[in-house]
Amino acid sequence: MTQAYLDHITETLAQIEADGMMKRERMITSPQGGQISVGKREVINLCANNYLGLADHPDLIEAAKAAMDPRGFGMASVRFICGTQDIHRELEQKLAAFLSKDDSILFAACFDANGGLFEPLLGPEDAVVSDALNHASIIDGIRLCKAKRYRYANSDMTDLEGQLKLAREEGARFILIATDGVFSMDGYLAKLPEIKALAEKYDAMVMVDDCHATGFMGPKGAGTPAHAGVDVDILTGTLGKALGGAIGGYIAGPQPIIDLLRQRARPYLFSNSLPPSIVAAGIKALELVEQGDALRDRLFDNARYWRTGLEKLGFKLLPGEHPIIPVMLGEAQLAQDMAAKLFDEGVFVSGFFFPVVPRGQARIRTQMNAALTRDELDRALRAFEVAGKVCGVIT
């Protein structure tokens, strides 16, 4: 490697720093939870995807521990060689039943699930129509397939219909509409009833990434399709958020789709199987979620209380019903400064800025979870008031 190239990389990093867009990781020294330890400090955590507060749940920890003695630490192989245990199929079947699908298939992460979904299912004669604000994993997965690509403005049903009409006029054999169920930077829900109606009108299929909904949106936490009262063809999701917060993703759908993915989805074929401890904890997490109405009620009570408190303080929020509640700040450096001041006040949050969100739309994305107490929320609101005034966001 030449020094000239290393100098080029160093200059790129320096520009990222100068633009106020350098991401820094803070070391947590405790389990994930409503309160966490960062070094020797105890802070309230408002930026984890731990929606139901299960990341440190004793039943999940016990399930993971109990799986290791009889089943080992790791599989040391991919699924089709010698990496499948009976509990892998048990979790897949339980996920499928929970989501009202024929079957499901596990991946190391939902990024891998989305990355492996499109290429085996769609050829150059086909088309995929994608929401402009879809997650990076959907974008990357679509890039890997040979289907014609169409994009519609976020949740713009007129534009979606225009793209579907264009795909049909250009001779697409099969069309797949791809959307997030919840757009994670904004907390907006996809317009699934309208999307489904357009799919039926143009003989298209619908795929939904439901990572930010599975476990807590809709009846029994079955996700955005259940919340909207519609059925979609393919669901992707994660074990890494509401379902325990570890790692692992999945695709759920019709049996022939899942069967073909087992044969041809490259991240599935060429990545190690999930460890037994993760699988066992995933099974237990599903049991807790299916009985988790009280947790879901507490989560949405917290979300309403938090949103109301921030609005009373004068912060600019994006509207919505989801536990993702973004505080809009505009510039990257302001988001960084606000996050730093909040940490000084005992609240752990992160600033989000380009390229994660568009330029000029930097924010602090707060996220509620069922483990947060009313006292913790009140303390966090006081911290936001102090930090907001110091940073000139509110008066």
Rounded to whole angstroms, how far apart are CA atoms 352 and 164?
32
Is residue 207 pLDDT above 80, yes or no?
yes
Is residue 214 pLDDT above 90, yes or no?
yes
User: What amino acid positions are annotated as catalytic residues?
Assistant: 184, 212, 241
CA distances in angstroms from 46 to 217, 326, 365, listed in the order given:
19, 11, 8
Percent pLDDT > 70 in the chain is 100
State the pLDDT at residue 355: 83
CA-based angle 244:336:299, to the nearest 5?
30
Is residue 97 pLDDT above 90, yes or no?
yes
CA-based angle 177:260:193, to the nearest 5?
25
Percent pLDDT > 90 in the chain is 94
pLDDT in tens, 344-385: 999 999 999 888 888 899 999 999 999 999 999 999 999 999
Is residue 87 pLDDT above 80, yes or no?
yes
Q: How confident is the model at residue 10 (pLDDT cuts 50, 70, 90)?
A: very high
Q: Are 249 and 107 in contact (CB under 8 A)?
A: yes
Question: What are the residues facing 248 on neighbouring strands?
Answer: none
State the pLDDT at residue 23: 83
Is residue 24 pLDDT above 90, yes or no?
no
* For residues 125-151, average pLDDT: 97
Is residue 13 pLDDT above 90, yes or no?
yes
Rounded to whole angstroms, how far apart are CA atoms 315 and 311?
6
Rounded to whole angstroms, how far apart are CA atoms 285 and 55?
10
Residue 188: partners with Cβ closer than 8 Å, 6 or more residues away:
154, 155, 182, 318, 320, 322
Is residue 295 pLDDT above 80, yes or no?
yes
Q: Are 107 and 282 in contact (CB under 8 A)?
A: no
State the pLDDT at residue 388: 97
Is residue 106 pLDDT above 90, yes or no?
yes
Q: How confident is the model at residue 19 (pLDDT cuts 50, 70, 90)?
A: confident
pLDDT in tens, 301-311: 999 999 999 99
State the pLDDT at residue 262: 98
State the pLDDT at residue 358: 86
* For residues 172-194, average pLDDT: 97
State the pLDDT at residue 130: 98
Is residue 115 pLDDT above 80, yes or no?
yes
Is residue 312 pLDDT above 80, yes or no?
yes
Rounded to whole angstroms, how far apart are CA atoms 273 and 79?
6
Rounded to whole angstroms, how far apart are CA atoms 226 and 23?
36
For residue 365, the one-letter residue type is: R
Instruction: Count CA atoms within 13 Å of residue 301 on its CB side.
Output: 11
* For residues 320-339, average pLDDT: 94
Instruction: Count CA atoms within 13 Å of residue 66 on its CB side.
Output: 12
Q: Are 142 and 178 in contact (CB under 8 A)?
A: yes
* For residues 158-183, average pLDDT: 98
Query: Does the reported pTM lie above 0.85?
Result: yes
Is residue 253 pLDDT above 90, yes or no?
yes
